[in-house]
Structure 1
Amino acid sequence: MTDPDRSENPSATPQAGSFADLGLPPALLRTLGEQGVETPFPIQAATVPDALAGRDVLGRGRTGSGKTLAFGLPLLVRTAGRRAEAKQPLALVLVPTRELAQQVTEALAPYAEALGLRMAAVVGGMSIGRQVAALRDGAEIVVATPGRLHDLIERKACRLGHVRVTVLDEADQMCDMGFLPQVTEALDQVRPQGQRMLFSATLDRDVDELVSRHLKDPVVHSVDPSAGAVTTMEHHVLVVHGPDRYAVTTEIAAREGRVLLFLDTRHAVDQLTRHLRASGVHAAALHSGKSQPQRTKTLAQFKNGHVTVLVATNVAARGLHVDDLDLVVNVDPPTDPKDYLHRAGRTARAGESGAVVTLVLSGQRRETSRVMAEAGVEAKVTKVRSGEQELSRITGAKAPSGTPLDGPAAPRAKNTNAPFRGLGTSKDASRGAGGTSRKSGEARKLAEARKAARVRRGG
């Protein structure tokens, strides 16, 4: 994005010592103090004054850098004092996932209450009837995913003509997920002279189309490095032997403290979760096949420590904020640098430290190296095996208790390093580990039955 009319000065970020320096009203300053939020993050210090002045803002900051308050506080201030009519919100925040919508809503709720503003979350997977009712009762602020907002507009349950402030959060992911048509539709319906703010960890590709078409002379602030460049984040590539990936993953999951495990498919997530729980690890699954109440409950349990291992697809790569999450593991290596960065961004948030570990087979090293190079990440490569001290040193891995959490465990093969289907092994791998296929077992039983029949016939 090289529009010369845009003002950009990432190197001269304002060094606001407090939120009072940013021009926020007393009611918000009191609430910030009550929430324990005292010093603005760089993205907040940079963007809040421009946003309060009504400027269109284009902000890039790494995930976990405080973008929600950076756009949320000005949005609330500029909406305060007005009341929404039925079905006609005054401000709109568009986000790509249900989890991020929930997180934004919860983060802004105390500040909205302090200013007497009503909020409504509009997301898929939840009762559309309740959302229709909330809009009908009047909500000044709507936080929405594009698909559900489109559905409500189609039902004439929501009209955007009164929206004065529009925010796109994680716009690049909305484009990557195919939501560009719905996002464009929403932007075409809000007030033409309204304020637009776009915040994201990355600004590229389809995002540039949104910026050039819908933002007017935006002030650009890029104040943080990409997620993978955070100096408090360590990156490791652990080269594992195929059959041993089963045991390595289990031992990492059994570590002290929480860990987030990423896999590519819902099936693999469910299968690994069942195995971990059978091994005595407090694990739970998160993916798009779960209902929204299930996903909300699982995230709450992970945040409060009742669940120590979250096994997830990329649905958890954005919009998930968990304090003190110091380890993310790519059980399935990401094939896209942006996926790597956003997975990695679940740790080392808000200045904390953390580590990102990627498990690879020897044949995956070249592709993984390419992805990390494009992501701007330098990782330490180590060959490990289950039970080794080096694995424990890097990840805190230890042997699981082996006590099933959900009743008796299924019988296991004697070879504890048997490959785990769904973790990059073939469907027939169990045969190479001493297992017997169902088909061959059925054939053996049939042969035994025929032999018994011949004996009974005297043959």
Structure 2
Amino acid sequence: MNRARTARTTRSNDRSHDRYRGSVGQRSGASRRSTGYDRRPAARQGEFALPKTITPPLPAVEAFADLALPAPLLAALGHQGVTVPFPIQGATLPNSLAGRDVLGRGRTGSGKTLAFGLALLARTAGQRAEPRQPLALVLVPTRELAQQVTDALTPYARAVRLRLATVVGGMPIGRQAGALRAGAEVVVATPGRLKDLIDRGQCQLDQVAITVLDEADQMADMGFMPQVTALLDQVRPEGQRMLFSATLDRNVDLLVRRYLADPVVHSVDPSAGAVTTMEHHVLHVQEADKHRTTTEIAARDGRVIMFLDTKHAVDRLTQHLLKSGVRAAALHGGKSQPQRTRTLAQFKTGQVTVLVATNVAARGIHVDNLDLVVNVDPPSDHKDYLHRGGRTARAGESGTVVTLVTPGQRRGMNRLMTDAGITPEVTPVRSGEAELSRITGAQAPSGVPVVIPAPAAAPARRAGAPSSRSRQGRPARGRGPGQAARRRTQRPALDAAA
């Protein structure tokens, strides 16, 4: 189902936030023609050039009180201590509240959830959903991100008496179907589980008037594009669409052309490389010394996330760190969702100081006061680097991203940094050296083995969001066992791993 619209393009000359606004493409029925794209080479490899200017957007605001938000939402924002919008919120909300489609790019941790969430809730307030017929939909790529979005929006949804339902794989599908039968105005979902519920007759999308795609580039990268387009074809064709992502590359091109009509385009703080509170270090290490160097970094005072490429490598390093006296825990797609949920809870409370993870933790996980991310294995591309690094320096905080690079990896790392638009500080280091300690806080581990006790039960779902403006990030929550036998063969395998 395609909406017959004529899209125009726009671009602002306001460079204060590197903000671009506009619309893309032209559609009529099954025919789609792009007439508004600037086809000049993009600034970074893999990104499409943002569109040209025609239609001016509404001016950005500097306070939530300047927006036409319902009084209960403003009161809830004040109660949460959130009074000053982040740039992407101040830029997009005037337009999204007016019902315009929005294409928003902002680095992870820049406040995208409230940027789309407040508009979605404000425009849905006062309506009541029929059973199995939600009125608004947020699609996200991972279970953790789905729960973070739900947790972030819950206090505001309650303020305007809207019901939220979270629909993700790995949790009991019967319970989710029950929430939809009871009536939920807003559904936050991963594509695979939502499709399952629709196939079972437990949900229909023809009343959805507002649709949000969060982290759309990751959904494309993970192979969800066929499911996403099939779901978008079922929502109301004249409805509002908002697409938010940390990066906008050519994989998102299809979604923009086909589903966004005359969108206002905002690019605010577009990459981790542009964040002045984040330091980037490439540490040249020798292969024989890398393991010891990693161990000393892990033994630092304070929390750290360490990224590796494979589940096996994550488990192996975690066991080594525990034997060395470092309170470490593993997070990857091979863990059950209750295990993942408990591990994240332990990390956030400080019971675990080192989270050893695959890319499953690269998006959708917010931890306050996390000042160091270490790429033990360099990422495969610049987008993975930006999203891994985005776990630190969130919401105005400072942070450091360190990548350990052996001699054979140096050329590839140089190319990756160029694609990411980052000029890192490059330092040769060895374990035990003062320079390694200066950059990372590395120190010798105690050598006394530790055991991390497993919690008796998964933490209860949080009803609210953090209580200060600088903590608009959200806690994660996961899934339970039991979905594997029901997973359809055509669903991307990463839907289970994510």
8 Å CA contact 1:165–1:196 kept in 2: the answer is: yes
- Whole-angstrom CA distance in 2 between matches of 1:12 and 1:393: 34
CA displacement at 1:126 relative to structure 2: 1.1
Name the SS for the 2:367 alignment partner. coil
8 Å CA contact 1:100–1:319 kept in 2: the answer is: yes
List, as ranges, runs of 4+ consecutive aligned residues in structure 1 with deviation greater than 4 Å: 12-15
Name the SS for the 1:189 alignment partner. coil
Would you say 1:215 and 2:260 are equivalent positions?
Answer: yes
Match of residue 386 from structure 2:
341
- Whole-angstrom CA distance in 2 between matches of 1:110 and 1:396: 38
- Whole-angstrom CA distance in 1 between matches of 2:411 and 2:235: 47
CA displacement at 1:406 relative to structure 2: 2.7
Match of residue 469 from structure 2:
none
- Whole-angstrom CA distance in 2 between matches of 1:181 and 1:225: 26
Would you say 1:245 and 2:249 are equivalent positions?
Answer: no
- Whole-angstrom CA distance in 2 between matches of 1:312 and 1:195: 36
Match of residue 261 from structure 1:
306
1:172-214 deviation per Cα after TM superposition (whole angstroms, max 9, x unaligned): 0000000000100110000011100000111111211101101
Match of residue 406 from structure 2:
361
Match of residue 300 from structure 1:
345
8 Å CA contact 1:11–1:223 kept in 2: the answer is: no
Match of residue 26 from structure 2:
none
Name the SS for the 1:49 alignment partner. helix
Amino acid in the other structure paired with 1:179: F
Counterpart mapping for 1:77-92 below 5 A = 77-92=122-137
Counterpart mapping for 1:38-437 below 5 A = 38-406=83-451
8 Å CA contact 1:164–1:195 kept in 2: the answer is: yes
8 Å CA contact 2:282–2:402 kept in 1: the answer is: yes
More helix by share: 1
1:124-146 deviation per Cα after TM superposition (whole angstroms, max 9, x unaligned): 11111111111111111100011
1:324-344 deviation per Cα after TM superposition (whole angstroms, max 9, x unaligned): 111000000012011111111
CA displacement at 1:20 relative to structure 2: 0.6
CA displacement at 1:359 relative to structure 2: 0.3
Name the SS for the 2:233 alignment partner. helix
Match of residue 8 from structure 2:
5
Name the SS for the 2:206 alignment partner. coil
- Whole-angstrom CA distance in 2 between matches of 1:4 and 1:127: 41
8 Å CA contact 2:61–2:94 kept in 1: the answer is: no
8 Å CA contact 1:8–1:221 kept in 2: the answer is: no
Name the SS for the 1:203 alignment partner. coil
Give percent identity, aligned residues only: 73
Match of residue 463 from structure 2:
none
1:421-446 deviation per Cα after TM superposition (whole angstroms, max 9, x unaligned): xxxxxxxxxxxxxxxxxxxxxxxxxx
- Whole-angstrom CA distance in 2 between matches of 1:46 and 1:312: 34
Match of residue 456 from structure 1:
none
CA displacement at 1:156 relative to structure 2: 1.3
8 Å CA contact 1:228–1:345 kept in 2: the answer is: no
- Whole-angstrom CA distance in 2 between matches of 1:144 and 1:277: 36
Q: Where in structure 2 are there 5+ consecutive unaligned residues? A: 1-5, 18-58, 453-498
8 Å CA contact 1:302–1:308 kept in 2: the answer is: yes
- Larger CA Rg, structure 1 vs 2: 1
- Whole-angstrom CA distance in 1 between matches of 2:173 and 2:214: 22
CA displacement at 1:391 relative to structure 2: 0.5
Name the SS for the 1:64 alignment partner. coil
1:339-368 deviation per Cα after TM superposition (whole angstroms, max 9, x unaligned): 111111111111111110000111111111
Amino acid in the other structure paired with 2:272: A
CA displacement at 1:402 relative to structure 2: 1.3
Amino acid in the other structure paired with 2:443: K
TM-score, structure 1 as length reference:
0.86
- Whole-angstrom CA distance in 2 between matches of 1:258 and 1:32: 29
8 Å CA contact 2:247–2:270 kept in 1: the answer is: no
8 Å CA contact 2:88–2:104 kept in 1: the answer is: yes
CA displacement at 1:4 relative to structure 2: 7.9
Amino acid in the other structure paired with 2:15: S
Amino acid in the other structure paired with 1:388: E
TM-score, structure 2 as length reference:
0.79
CA displacement at 1:225 relative to structure 2: 3.0
Match of residue 484 from structure 2:
none
- Whole-angstrom CA distance in 1 between matches of 2:372 and 2:181: 43
CA displacement at 1:392 relative to structure 2: 0.4
- Whole-angstrom CA distance in 1 between matches of 2:153 and 2:198: 24
Amino acid in the other structure paired with 2:202: A
- Whole-angstrom CA distance in 2 between matches of 1:373 and 1:45: 30
Amino acid in the other structure paired with 1:45: G
CA displacement at 1:8 relative to structure 2: 3.3
8 Å CA contact 1:105–1:121 kept in 2: the answer is: yes
Q: Where in structure 1 are there 5+ consecutive unaligned residues? A: 408-459
- Whole-angstrom CA distance in 2 between matches of 1:318 and 1:204: 17
- Whole-angstrom CA distance in 2 between matches of 1:4 and 1:23: 26
Amino acid in the other structure paired with 1:133: G
Name the SS for the 1:135 alignment partner. helix
8 Å CA contact 2:60–2:92 kept in 1: the answer is: no
8 Å CA contact 2:7–2:261 kept in 1: the answer is: no
CA displacement at 1:15 relative to structure 2: 5.2
